[in-house]
């Protein structure tokens, strides 16, 4: 790694992924995902695998809470491709669902008991995401829950680059304190239609739409590069 790359967050991410791939702690079932090449930082985000995702969880405590559903949608160039939209309910041990999260997420305990095995679901998700750019709103949630469900320790990096509409919004608004960066507020400011919140798939689409708007505001007509988006997302 050259000196300049030390100051480039995306190059540092690539280095961490490379180290993780060689780590003896990496579960063997995940190795194939690390063999996929990551895009170079200079590539346009419209020319790399790019997926917007959203997790619904029982709470924000990474240790004790769990993911109950996940959804996402892919980009096809600078547009969102509905055909790639997906949504999965995860199987949950009944005792872990508290009444409140069921209300917020509008998912009943019965639905969750018949959901997909979380580990299996995350492996399938890894297949969609690894080697590409992943969009979320507030990426810490998806990042940590994904790592936890897959059993990746703190020292290991996920083989993908996270973009974050919440951080991008902070960049656009000049990192002022007190700017409301909730997804619904960001959408409202841009006159984007209001979404029925708390459905993982709909939220991932809402996030993707926001990204389309933000990238135009930040870069006008020029397609942003992967490292430009990554830097403003962290």
Partner 1 sequence: MDQSLLPNIYDFISKTYPFSQLSPLEMDAVATAVKISYHQPGDILDDADLAGAGLYLVRTGACEELTKPDGKLRARMGVGDTFGYTQIDKQGRSDYKVRFLENSLIYFINRNVLKLIFEKNKAVGSYFSSNDRVRLHSSQAAATARREASGAGRTVFEAATRHIPLMQEDDTIQEVAAALRDTHSEMAVIARGDQPEGVITKTDISNRAVACGLPATAKASEIMSRGVISIEGSEPVERALELMVMNNIECLPVTDHGRFTGVITPTRMLRDSRLESVYLLRDVTNVDSIKALPLLSHRVKGIFTGMLAAGMPPHDVQRMMSRIADVFYEKIISLNIKQAGTPPCRFAWFAAGSLARCEVQFLSDQDNGIILEKDPGKEGMEYFARLSDAVCHDLDSCGYPLCDGNYMASNPKWRVTLEQWERNYSSWIADTTQNAILNSMVFLDIRHLHGDAELTSALKRHLSEEVNANSRFLATLCTISTTVAPPLGTFRQFVLTKDGKNEPYFNIKKQAVNLIVELARLYGLAARSQETDTYARLKAARAAGVLRDEDYRDLAEAYTFINSVRFTHQLNSIKSGAKLTNNLPPSELSQFERNHLRDAFRIISRQQQAANVKFASGRGIL
Pairing of strands 67-76, 161-164: unpaired
The single residue listed with the structure tokens 């180290």 is 19
Nearest approach, Cβ of 105 to partner 1 (angstroms)?
13
Nearer to partner 1 (CB atom), residue 35 or residue 217: 217
Nearest approach, Cβ of 119 to partner 1 (angstroms)?
23
Nearer to partner 1 (CB atom), residue 52 or residue 139: 52
Give, in degrees to the nearest 5, the angle at Cα 208 between 158 and 103: 85
Nearest approach, Cβ of 8 to partner 1 (angstroms)?
28
Nearest approach, Cβ of 205 to partner 1 (angstroms)?
7
> Residue numbers of the site for partner 1 (CB under 8 A)?
71, 76, 78-83, 85-87, 190-193, 195-196, 199, 201-202, 205, 208-209, 212-213, 216
Give the relative orientation of helices 200-219 and 165-172 as an angle to the nearest 10 degrees. Answer: 30
How many helices and strands (H and E) does the chain possess? 11, 5
Nearest approach, Cβ of 10 to partner 1 (angstroms)?
24
Nearer to partner 1 (CB atom), residue 71 or residue 118: 71
Distance between CA atoms of 137 and 143, rounded to whole angstroms? 11
Nearer to partner 1 (CB atom), residue 130 or residue 165: 165
Nearer to partner 1 (CB atom), residue 5 or residue 171: 171
How many Cα neighbours within 13 Å face the side chain of 191?
A: 0
Beta strands in 10-132 (DSSP E): 50-57, 67-76, 79-89
């Amino acid at each position: 790694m050259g000196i300049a790359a030390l100051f480039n967050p995306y190059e540092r991410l690539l280095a961490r992924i490379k180290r993780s791939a060689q780590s003896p702690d990496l579960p063997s079932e995940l190795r194939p995902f690390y063999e996929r090449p990551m895009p170079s930082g200079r590539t346009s985000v419209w020319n790399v695998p790019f997926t917007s995702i959203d997790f619904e969880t029982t709470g924000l405590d990474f240790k004790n809470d769990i993911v109950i559903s996940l959804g996402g949608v892919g980009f096809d160039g600078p547009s969102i491709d509905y055909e790639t939209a997906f949504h999965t309910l995860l199987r949950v041990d009944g005792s872990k669902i508290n009444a409140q999260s069921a209300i917020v997420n509008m998912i009943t305990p019965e639905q969750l008991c018949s959901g997909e095995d979380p580990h299996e679901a995350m492996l399938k998700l890894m297949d969609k995401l690894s080697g590409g750019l992943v969009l979320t709103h507030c990426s810490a949630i998806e990042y940590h829950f994904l790592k936890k469900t897959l059993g990746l320790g703190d020292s290991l990096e996920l083989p993908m680059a996270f973009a974050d509409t919440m951080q991008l919004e902070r960049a656009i608004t000049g990192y002022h304190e007190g700017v409301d960066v909730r997804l619904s507020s960001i959408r409202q400011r841009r006159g984007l239609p209001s979404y029925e919140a708390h459905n993982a798939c709909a939220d991932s689409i809402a996030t993707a739409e926001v990204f389309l708007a933000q990238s135009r505001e930040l870069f006008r007509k020029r397609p942003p590069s992967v490292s430009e988006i990554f830097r403003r997302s962290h």
